[in-house]
Amino acid sequence: MKSYLKGVIVDWAGTIVDYGSRAPVEAFRAAFAHEGVEISIAEARAPMGLAKRDHIRAVIEMARVTTAWRERHGGKAPGEDEIERIYQRFLPLQLPVLTQLSTVIPGALDAFAAFRGRGLKIGSTTGYVRELMDVLLPHAEKQGLYVDSMVCPSDVAVGRPAPYMCFLNAMKLNVFPMWELVKIGDTPADVEEGRNAGMWTIGVTRQGNEVGLSPEEQAALPPPELHARMTFARERLSRADYLVESIAETPAVLDEIAARLAGGERPPIK
């Protein structure tokens, strides 16, 4: 029987490792604090999924942050030199917590086994630069998590939401057309990356950046507050073709996508 689905391209933090995508947040906040500018958790999380230098640029261009920067730095507006300085401070702040928080998310190993059982190749994209992934990748492999391809923003001209990391994965995996691949991620940047590449997209809500909490923190929340966070996550990821709470739910969704492909459907344009 012809296989109508050939592979998946997964995100890393918040999708297959680091439940709640917590590792980058405090490193971003500490890097800005060193410049005398405090940013909130929500501000640190808002551009998550972008390449880390682009992420810093997006935060620093927020109106409140720009105003705070001007007040702290004698009216001077932040520019590319300041972005680069924060980025260079961010990297050594991120490294110590990277492996500490990047445990494989429950259900990811079973999901990967299900992907491979369906004959799918597994690619991956990330907002982490190569220096960080050189630490994270072997840490994940020690936990039994292996991908067939991994592409960083530094491997292409432009990171998310541009589609180039997905295209490079497809080349490395020798998989085409793009509509026979599925992008799985936990941020709007992941969703737009997949859409721009002409792929099906699955957004991950509860375990990812948009809820932004560990399982223990979620369990401690009053139900109305958790419901509000889940609603926010669904709204943020609403342009995905499918939404799931966890990577563990994705194999069943892939079967639905494969059936739609067999019926001649292509990823819908929204």
Which active-site residues does the annotation give?
Answer: 11, 52
Query: How crowded is residue 117: how many other Cβ atoms within 10 Å of its Cβ?
Result: 9
Question: Of 136, 150, 130, nearest to 52 (Cα)?
Answer: 130
Q: Retrieve residue 50's tokens.
A: 């972008």
Tokens 């800005």, residue?
32
Q: What are the b/e assignments for 65-83, b being 16+ CB within 10 Å?
A: beebbeeeeeeeebeeebb
Q: Retrieve residue 103's tokens.
A: 């445990």
Q: What is the DSSP letter of 16?
A: T
Q: What is the DSSP letter of 93?
A: H
On whether the CB atoms of residues 123 and 46 are closer than 8 A, the answer is: no
On whether the CB atoms of residues 165 and 155 are closer than 8 A, the answer is: yes
* Cα(188)–Cα(235) distance, integer angstroms: 10
Query: How crowded is residue 95: how many other Cβ atoms within 10 Å of its Cβ?
Result: 15
SS3 at position 34? coil
- CA dihedral sign of residues 214, 220, 224, 225: negative
